[in-house]
Each structure stands twice: as C-alpha cells, then as structure tokens.
Amino acid sequence: MAKSSVLGYPRIGADREWKKALEAFWAGKIEETELNSKLQEIRLDHLRKQLQKGIDLIPVNDFSYYDHVLDTATMFGIVPKRFPYEGGAVPVSVYYGIARGTKEAAASEMTKWFNTNYHYIVPELDGAAPVITENKPLTAYREAKEKLGIESKPIIIGPLTFLKLSKGYDISETDAWLKRLLPLYVQILQELAQEGVQWVQIDEPILVTKLENADLGRLKTIYETFAVSVPELNIMLQTYFESVENYSDIAALPVQGIGLDFVHGYAGNLQSVKENGFPKDKVLGAGIIDGRGIWKASLQEKLALLEELSEHVVAEKLIVQSSCSLLHVPVTVQNETKLSAELKNALAFADEKLDEIVLLTKAISSGKASVVKELEECELAIQALKQSSERNRTDIQQAVAAVSSKEPKRNLPFAERHIVQQQKWQLPLLPTTTIGSFPQSVEVRKARQLWRKGEWNNERYAGFIRDQIDTWIKLQEEIGLDVLVHGEFERTDMVEFFGEKLAGFAFTQYGWVQSYGSRCVKPPIIYGDVAFEKAMTVEETKYAQSKTKRPVKGMLTGPITIMNWSFVREDITREQIAYQLAYALRQEVEALEDAGIGMIQVDEPAVREGLPLKTEEQAKYLEWAVKAFRMTSCTVQDTTQIHTHMCYCEFHDMIDSIEAMDADVISIETSRSHGELIHSFELNTYKQGIGLGVYDIHSPRVPQIEEMTQMIDRALCVLDPKLFWINPDCGLKTRGVDETVSSLRNMVAATRIAREKY
Ligand code: GLN
Ligand code: ZN
C-alpha cells in the first residue's frame, strides 16, 4: 500500500494565533513560559489535524519560533559574534535578536527561500565551531509521540543546503565547514535512530539548482557518511520547487527514499524517472499536490500521473505527498464565507490538500472505483470556474493583445529625459526621499477597522486619512526631505489595495501565509481577467500635492509584484497575467499624470521572486517582466519622472534587466545585504537615477548619521553623485513614529554632510 505524507504544515494557525503569540511576547505582554505553552498548543493542534485527516507520515520540526533556517543555525550554536552568547541552548532573546536586530546589534540578513515569498535568516558562519545545542528534531519527535501517540517524521535541513544558504565563510572553507557539521548531523540522526524514528526527511532543495562537481562530491560524502553511521534509519532525501538537476547522481545515493516535486518540477522529474527508471530499492516521495498553489488539483490528472509513476515504483514504495511544505499556502478554505461558490469550490488550502493527498493515496491503493464520486465533483468544480464570465472577458483580452504586440518605449532616451526633468524639478544634489509608506500606527489601524466595520462612514475615514497626510506632509517638509510622499495610510498592503480596486481579483478573509518572521501576507487571488475600473490612488496623491510646493511622488505597485504576491490562475500564462495587470496599471499612471502628479513610483520589490530557479528559463522571464514594467510606465510625458523600488533580494545578476526597465530613478534595498550590492555596481555602468537604501528599516534601531555617511561614501565611490538619491531601504509602515522621524532627520543630516563633499 502507498502511504501519504506532507513536507511541512503552515505554522501560523488558521487565525494567525502564532503571529499573535510571537508579537505579544516581543511586546512584553506575555512571558516566555506563556509563549512556549501557546506555541505548543498550536503545534499539537496541527499534528492532531493531520492525524485526523489520515496522513500516514506526519512531519515534525517543521514548526518554528521564527524561521526553520535560523532554527538549524541555532541548533548548531551558530550565532553571529556580535550577539552575546556563551554556548549552550541559544536563549530566546538571542534567537530573536539575530532575527530582528537589537539596540546593540544589527539583525542577520534575510533573504528569499528559493523562488518563494518566504524569507529566511541567512546563517552567518563567522568562526566559532558548531556544536549541538539541542537535538530539535528529537524533541519534536518525542513531543508528538508522548502527547499524541504519533509516529512522526522529523524534518531537518540537509547539510549541503544549509552550507550553500549560509554566508560568512570563504568558498575555500566549505569542506572545512562540512567537516565540522557532518559529525553533528550524524549525532542528531543517531539519536533519532536510537529513539526508534522510522523516517527522517532531510531537505535538500539545493539539488534543484545547478551544482558544481565539488558539491556533487560533497553530496556523496554526506549521504554515504549517513548510510554508514546510521544504517537503521530511513532517510527521505527531499527536494522541491523544481526538478532535480543531477538525477542519476541523486538516485545513486545510499538513501532509502527520494522526494521529487512533480508539480513545479513536473516535466523534468517525470522525464528523468522515465528515462532512467527509479531505483528499485528506494521509496519515491511523489510530490504531486501543489504545496504552493491554492487551486484544487484535478484528481483525475493526478491519478493518471500516479499511475504513470506506478510503472516505475511499486505501491509499497510510493509515498503520495505535497510538492513542498504547505508553509506557502493558507490553512483552510473552510472558514471563508465571502467567496463566490464558484471560486470557493475550486480552491484547496493546506487542510484541503491533506484531504486530496489522502484521497489519492486511497485511489492508488484501492483503485479508482473507490473515489468515483470525488473525481466527478472535482472536475465539475474546475470546469465551472473555467467557464465563468470573469475568466472570459474578450474586451480585455483583445485590448491587452493589441497593447502588448507593440514594443513599449518612452518617447526620449534617459539621458535626454534627465535634462528636461532636471530643468523642471530643480532638485538639489543628492535628493532625499522615502519609499512611500509611513508608520501604520495603532491610530491608523484602528481607524481602518472602524471604517471596515461600518462604524465610520466613508467621509469620516477619508477625513482621517487627509489629516494623516497633512501631518506627514508637514513633518516631511520640516525634516527637509526633497521629494515627498503621501504616506500610504489608506493601504493595508501594497497588493491588496490595488487588487480590491481592479476587476479579476478575489479576497479571502483568512488566507494568510508567512512571509518572514511574524509577518504574514494575505495574497489576493487573481482568478479572472484583470481590468482597470476607476482611479485608485489619485485622490490621496492629489490631496497631498495640494498641501505642499515640493513634488509628491505618486505610489503604485507594479504588475510583476502584484502578480508575484498574488495567487494566480493557472489557465493562462503568467506572462499574460502580467500584461493584463500592466495594461490596467498604465491607466492609473495616466490618471495620476492627468491629475498633475509628475513623479510616479511603480514599486517592483518582487521582480526577483518570480525568477525561475532554472537558469535557462530566467532570461525569458526577465524579458517579459521588464516589458510589463515598461508597458505600465512608458506613455507619460518626458518631464514625468518614473521611479521604481526594489527590495528583499539580490540584484547583482540582474542589473541589466533593471537598466532595461528604463525607470528614471530606482531605489534599492542595500543596507541589510551589508553593501554587497554596491560591489556589483562597480562592474556595471548603471547610468540612470539610483538610490541605494542607506539604512535598514526592518529594525527599530535609529541609524546614526555616521553609519549613513559611510553608506553614502561607499556608494559614491562607484556611482555618479549627480544621479544618486538618498533614501531608506524600504517603506516605513512597520516602524514607530518617533524612530521614523529621528531616522529621517539623521538621514537628511548625513545628506547635508555629503552635499558638502561631492
Ligand atoms: N511603497 C511601498 C512602501 O513604502 C513599498 C513597499 C515594498 O517595497 N515592499 O511601503
Ligand atoms: Zn521595499
């Protein structure tokens, strides 16, 4: 009989209980013991659910107090030197210090988890030899067994992936680090084996990327060492997010199971299995239910795939599972009361995916006849959505086809635009600005709640927003910023805000997923053809502009970011969706310009998030992503200054694409990647306006003038002062008012110093 499994379950809870507990603890509202008990309750609840649904191999140690990569680092006592730590179990204060920064020490870098919107804390291997501070998988296994009688499957990040995702060491030290880590892994696995653990899932998603021979050698060393040291343990070597690059090498490893992604790596993995067969002595973890998408699977198609795989693997050696951890999808569709039946019926979040997995396991074990009714219902639901009017708007489809058939291009090249823009705007050297949002204080959030509940009418709420704008326009003038923003007080989220106003979007009530730490996002669902209906940002921006003589930058979220931060339909290509969004947003850009707004920022922080993991697919993606950005922004006058903003990731290998976007000014997050980006600009000749963020906004710490002076000087070694802008790393909505004002004052002071020098 085949077995069912998942690769991880969302940790945040159906009502974000997890987030609430973490934040209460950070705010000092609950003690550590209470945090522990609250989190345990959540954790056990999740295990219980999987047990009830009938999952055979339930994962443990997928839960975390913040991030599972950070957990792995602290399990090995890997704590950056700047934090007070003297060995032993890493105290929760240090753990959260690494994640979030403290008054004394900057947080560790945070970066994207492969091509997802999850961000992990980058381990810093800066010296001290690793040790085991606590066998976390074992603790988790014991808890599941003792409390619920579950024979669980502990998860651990594999050594190769862990090393490749860490920083702070030189490539030449990789083997030395592996040598230090490997015995620790062995000890952890031995302790698990002694405890009677049957299966352990070792996550090596790095195997879907291109590996050098040295790494393939390391891979072999690692798994041969495990096979020799813990022969009694079943190791499921788990990959996900794409097809594996080196199938034959991986298939030859002495492990008991190999987990492959047959959703995002469908074609490649299937081909590998078909061409090479699957090793007879191994279990195949068949990741066939999409751990990242929200749509109901076509059970018929999945069953056909399982049957195909069955030609290569006997049922006893088949595990039906999710393609990756369910961390990337919301908890359940069940609590949603506001979606249309047509849409709701076509959705499957984590809990519904558990059902799908169990059902498919049953079908492949007991025959199709056992699930005929379910198969039929499933196909009906999928068809109903496909035929809906929202998915078949020919007016939009034709307009977008016409616009996207032309090459989107601004009237003048940058060098000429720059001259007319400078004449018009008369900005000082090193103009200062911010990225858009100002603190969403308790007051702001409360006002929005009252309005949403209907206790405040539209007028009252709009008045409140105007008051906020007034306050912050005055503050910005007083601080001495050159290009102002209205502050985005009317927006909860930069994607949701636009989605609510465009056609083709739907919103869940509880569809949250973890983005980083306690930060959760509720991605909209693009389920129909996207269309512009009415101006979305003009009113507030125009109002802000009426209050000052300095320019106010209009603020939009770009097409690629909206797409990458939404759950999207799968019946048309992402490229098509991007063009629909671009066409809709272009109408907003034009509306802003018509209303007298002459600087417009189109944020694209998430461009890189959609970058395919396979290098050979990246150029094509970047090409249409850039085109979508240009489609959005190219119809404006020469004097209109188009800004864009990017953050959260590395850009060093996409500077050409950034250039091709042809924005007049780009602001990029840099401070948290500790200036590495600046380095890449040394090799390029980026010749358009650019602001490299001069301070980290993820931390409550107020940056000192001197620190920012250093950032500015470093950047200006490479970049032309005439094209350089000074701004924070990102929007300030998560920050407090006082720290924001102090930080910006220091930023302006640092700018004044720089203006004397350049
Ligand atoms: N304009 C947005 C803000 O300031 C940009 C946010 C982002 O890049 N993530 O909030
Ligand atoms: Zn940003």
Q: Decide: residue 205, CB within 10 A, 0-12 exposed, 13-18 middle, 19+ buried.
A: buried
In angstroms, the CA 329 to CA 10 distance is 7
Instruction: Identify the DSSP state of 57.
Output: B
List the Cα angle 729/730/735 in 5-degree steps. Answer: 105
Q: Is the pLDDT confidence value at 675 over 60?
A: no
Pairing mode, strands 513-516 and 519-521: antiparallel
Structure tokens at 696: 């980290």
492 φ/ψ angles, rounded to the nearest 5 degrees: -85, -45
Q: Of all atoms in ligand 1, which is nearest to the CA of residue 645?
A: 8
Range name among 379-388, 421-430, 469-478, 671-680 with the lowest pLDDT average: 671-680
For residues 81-89, average pLDDT: 93
Query: ∠ at Cα 220 (231, 140), nearest 5°?
Result: 50
pLDDT at position 684: 64
Which residues contribute to the annotated binding site for 5-methyltetrahydropteroyltri-L-glutamate?
16-19, 112, 117, 519-520, 565, 609
Q: What pLDDT, on the 0 to 100 scale, is given for residue 252?
A: 98
Nearest by Cα to 67 from 21, 23, 121, 115: 121
> Nearest CA to 137 among 260, 235, 14?
235
Ion ligand 2 contact residues with beta carbon within 5 A: 605, 647, 730
C-alpha to C-alpha distance for 492 and 34, rounded to whole angstroms = 30
Report pLDDT digits (tens) over 144-170. 999 999 999 999 999 999 999 999 999
Under 8 Å CB-to-CB from 651, ≥6 apart: which residues?
608, 658, 668, 677, 680
Name the residue of 494, 519, 557, 647 to mutate for ligand 1: max ligand atoms within 8 A of Cβ: 494
Number of H helices, E strands in the chain: 27, 21
**Mean pLDDT calculated for residue range 57-85:** 97
pTM exceeds 0.90, yes or no: yes
Annotate 151-195 with DSSP letters as a single string: --EEEEE-HHHHHHH-BSS-GGGHHHHHHHHHHHHHHHHHHHHHH
Q: Max Cα separation, the chain?
A: 80
Q: Whose atoms come closest to the Cα of 696: which ligand?
A: 2
Residue whose C-alpha is closest to residue 322's, from 32, 634, 143, 62: 62
Q: Whose CA is nearest to atom 3 of ligand 1?
A: 731
**Interval 20-51: pLDDT, tens:** 999 999 999 999 999 999 999 999 999 999 99
Q: What is the mean pLDDT of the chain?
A: 95
pLDDT in the model for residue 583: 98
Contact between 516 and 583 under an 8 Å Cβ cutoff? The reply is no
Name the helix (H) or strand (E) containing 285.
Answer: strand 283-289
d(CA 482, CA 428) in angstroms, rounded, equals: 8
The rounded radius of gyration (Å) of the Cα atoms in the chain is 26
DSSP symbols for 256-293 = SEEEEESSTTHHHHHHHHHHH---TTSEEEEEEE-SS-
For 731, which DSSP code?
Answer: -
pLDDT band at residue 346 using 50, 70 and 90 as cut-offs: very high
Reported as a pLDDT band with limits 50, 70 and 90, residue 700 is confident
The active-site residue out of 264, 486, 643, 698 is: 698
Tell me how crowded residue 563 is: count the other CB atoms within 10 A of its CB. 24
Check if the beta carbon of residue 713 is closer than 8 Å to that of residue 726. no
Query: Strand locations in 18-135, DSSP E?
Result: 59-60, 110-112, 119-121
Please tell me if the CB atom of residue 517 comes closer than 6 angstroms to any atom of ligand 1.
Answer: no
In Å, what is the CA distance from 5 to each residue of 258, 263, 288, 390, 540? 13, 15, 11, 35, 49
Residue 553 corresponds to which tokens in the numbers above?
């930058």
* pLDDT on residue 735: 95
Higher pLDDT, 584 or 370: 584
Q: Record the tokens describing residue 494, joined without a space.
A: 């930069």
| Whether the Cβ atoms of residue 144 and residue 198 lie closer than 8 Å to each other | no
Phi/psi zone of residue 404: left (φ > 0), alpha (ψ -120 to 50 degrees), beta? Answer: alpha
Percent of the chain surpassing pLDDT 90: 91
Pairing, β 689-692 against β 724-725:
parallel
Has residue 674 got a pLDDT over 60? no
Ligand 1 near 731 CB (within 6 A): yes
Instruction: Label residue 590 by pLDDT band (50, 70, 90).
Output: very high
CA nearest neighbour of 54 among 125, 132, 2: 2
Which pLDDT score is estimated for 254?
98
What is the rounded distance in angstroms from the CA atom of residue 658 to the CA atom of residue 646?
A: 10
The atom number, within ligand 1, closest to the CA of 733 reads 10
Ligand 1 within 6 A of 645 CB?
yes
Check whether 654 has a pLDDT greater than 90.
Answer: no
Ligand nearest to the CA of 669: 2
Q: Which residue type, as a one-letter code, is found at position 296?
A: K
How far from chain centre, in Å, is Cα 184?
Answer: 30
Which has the closest alpha carbon to 98: 84, 86, 115? Answer: 84
Provide the 8-state DSSP code for 408: -
pLDDT for residue 683: 61
Query: Among this protein's residues, is 643 annotated catalytic?
Result: no
Read off the tokens for 310: 């069955």
Query: Is residue 448 in contact with ligand 1, taking CB distance under 6 Å?
Result: no
Residues with Cβ < 8 Å from 386, sequence gap 6 or more?
571
User: Which residue is listed with tokens 């609430």?
Assistant: 20
- Cα gap 485→476, rounded to integer Å: 9
Instruction: Mean pLDDT check: name the lowest of 171-180, 388-397, 539-548, 713-722.
Output: 713-722
CA 48 from chain centre, in angstroms, equals: 28
> Which ligand is located closest to the Cα atom of residue 492?
1
Q: 3-class SS at 437?
A: strand
Q: How far is ligand 2, taken at its centre, from the CA of residue 644, in Å?
A: 10
DSSP state of 90: P
β-strand partners of 668 = 646, 692
- When pLDDT is cut at 50, 70 and 90, the band that residue 135 belongs to is very high
Q: Report how far residue 121's alpha carbon sits from residue 207's, in angstroms, rounded to the nearest whole number.
A: 20
CA of 643 to the centre of ligand 2 (A): 13
At 685, the pLDDT band (50, 70, 90 cuts) reads confident
Q: What is the pLDDT of residue 321?
A: 98
Which residue type is seen at 314? V
Q: How far is CA 554 from CA 146, 151, 483, 541, 744, in A?
A: 57, 55, 11, 6, 20
- What are the tens digits of pLDDT across the range 481-536? 999 999 999 998 899 999 999 999 999 999 999 999 999 999 999 999 999 999 99
**Minimal CA–CA distance to 583: which of 516, 527, 634?**
634
The two tokens of residue 188 are 């952890």
pLDDT score, position 649: 63
Kindly indicate the confidence band of residue 648, based on its pLDDT and cuts at 50, 70 and 90.
Answer: low
Q: Cα separation of 553 and 619, whole Å? A: 31
Q: Is 602 in the pocket of ligand 1 (CB under 6 A)?
A: no
Q: Helix 458-479 crosses helix 538-546 at what angle (to 10 degrees)?
A: 50
**E strand or H helix that includes residue 200:** strand 199-203
Nearest atom (ligand 1) to Cα of 557: 1
Over residues 189-212, the pLDDT tens digits come to 999 999 999 999 999 999 999 999
Task: Tell me whether strands 283-289 and 318-322 are parallel, antiparallel or unpaired.
Answer: parallel
Q: Indicate if ligand 1 lies below 6 Å from the C-beta of 150.
A: no
Amino acid at 181: L
